Amino acid sequence: MKADWAVISSSNAVPDIKRILIIKLADHGDAILATPAISAVRARFPNAVLDVLTTSNGAVAFGLCPVIDHIRVIDKHAFDNPRGMLHPVNALRIVNLVRRLRRSRYDTIVLLQHLTTNFGALKYRWLCCAIGAPIRAGIDNGQGDFLTHRAVDFGFGVKSVHEYNLDVVSQLGVSIAHAHPAIAVPDDARRSAEKLLAENNVGAEYVVIHPSVGGYSSARNWPTERFAALAKNIIEKRGFTVVVVGANDAAEAARSICATANVVNLVGRTGYPELAALLDAARLVIGADSGVAHLAAALATPTLAIFGPSNHNAWKPIGATVLSGPIAKLPAGTAFVIRSDIPCSPCFYSGYTLGRRDGCSLRTCLDRLSVDLITNIAYQIIDKTTLVKSTAIDLEH
C-alpha cells in the first residue's frame, strides 16, 4: 500500500451538502490543526451551515475561526471512558446533546479523530450514528466501517495530524490545494494586548516564551531552568525583551524564570484572543510541544517548538520544518521543530497507539537539547527575520 493513497471509500461523489457538523474533541493545539480543513470545507460549501462539536478548550481556539457558524461543546472527560458515559448525570447530558444535534438535521459529519482505541472507535461510531447524518467522513485504521467516506490512517507520523484532517475533507470533493489556517485576531483583542504590553514597558521588539505543555503529558516539557537560561541569553546578547505567557499551569515556571532573568511575566493575564494578539506581534515564539506553538505558527509568527517524546512528524505545527542537532544554517521557513535524533524517540503517539504518554524517567530526548543549541537556533531565527525586515524597509525606500 502506498502512503500517498488516501481514499478507501468506493466513491468521492457527494450530493449537495447543506448542513455540516465537524467533530473535533480537541485541546487548543488540536483545534488549530483542524482549521485548514475547516476553511477548505467552507470554501467548497460557502452557503452550508458549518458547525463544530468540541470540548470547552477546543471552543476557545475555534472561537478565532471566523468560518464556523456555531460551536457546540461536549464534556470530553465524561465521554472518555465507559464509566463516565454511564454515570446518570453524564448519560443524561450526552443524550440531551445528541437530541439537539439530531434536531439540527445535519446531512454530513466530518469526524477529525483517530480511532486509536477500541472504546474510542465504539463511542464515535455510536455518536455518528446517533446524530443520524447520512454522510460520515473520517480517518479509518480498520475500525471505521461506520464511515461512508474514509481516508486511510497510516499511523501517527506518516502524515501530520493536519494533513490527515485534509485527507478526510478531500473525500467530500473538497479542494485542499490552498488550504490554510483560518485564524482571525479580533481588533479589540489587539487593542487589549497593546495596552498590556505598554503597561509593562514592552516595546515592539519582543520574544515570547511559553514554558508549559498543559496537563495531558508533562513529559513533553523542556526543563524550566533551561528556559530561564535561554531568556537570559536573548536579553543579554540580542537586546530583546522576553515575555513569558501561558495559563495558570505555567505560573510556577514563570516565577522561576523571572528569578533568573529580567523578563516580563504575563502568565494568566490574557484571554485566548489577547494571547493570539501577543503572539501575532512577536518577533519569535519559543515553547514546547503545546497549543501556543501551534497558534503562533498558524499566525505565521516565527516559531521554535521544542519536541521530546511526542511524535514530531504527527504533531508538528503547520508548515514547520523539523531540525535535529546543531544547525549551521537554517532552511527556509518561519516555523521550526527542534528534536534530538535518538532511536527511542518518539515514544508517544507511535504507530497506531498512544505509546508512552509519560515518556521515560531519563527524558534523554529532551536532555540532549541544550541551552546552547536552542539559543543558537533562536539567534538564527531572529537574525533571519531582522534581515528580511531590513530588506523590506530598504525596498520601500
Confidence of residue 9 (pLDDT cuts 50, 70, 90): very low
Pairwise CA distance, residues 348 & 381, whole Å:
28
Residue by residue, DSSP assigns 237-264 as: HH--EEEE---GGGHHHHHHHHHHS--E
Residue by residue, DSSP assigns 158-175 as: TB-HHHHHHHHHHTTT--
* First vs last C-alpha separation in the chain: 55
Domains of the chain (ranges; CATH) run 19-170 (3.40.50.2000), 187-396 (3.40.50.2000)
Beta-carbon contacts of 349 under 8 Å, excluding residues fewer than 6 positions away, are 156, 157, 310, 311, 314, 315, 355
Give the DSSP letter of residue 316: P
Read off the pLDDT of residues 37-66 as tens digits, 9 standing for 90 and up. Answer: 999 999 999 999 999 999 999 999 999 999
Give Dmax over CA atoms of the chain in angstroms. 69
Whether residue 216 is predicted with pLDDT greater than 90 in this model: the reply is: no
Least confident of 168-172, 260-264, 273-277: 260-264
CB 63 within 8 A of CB 185: no
Confidence of residue 390 (pLDDT cuts 50, 70, 90): very low
Distances (CA, A) of 260 to 304, 368, 386: 21, 22, 27
Q: Which three cell numbers stand for residue 44?
A: 467548497
| Predicted TM-score of the model (pTM) | 0.91
Bridge partners (DSSP) listed for residue 159: 156
Closest to 124 (Cα-Cα) out of 96, 141, 144: 144
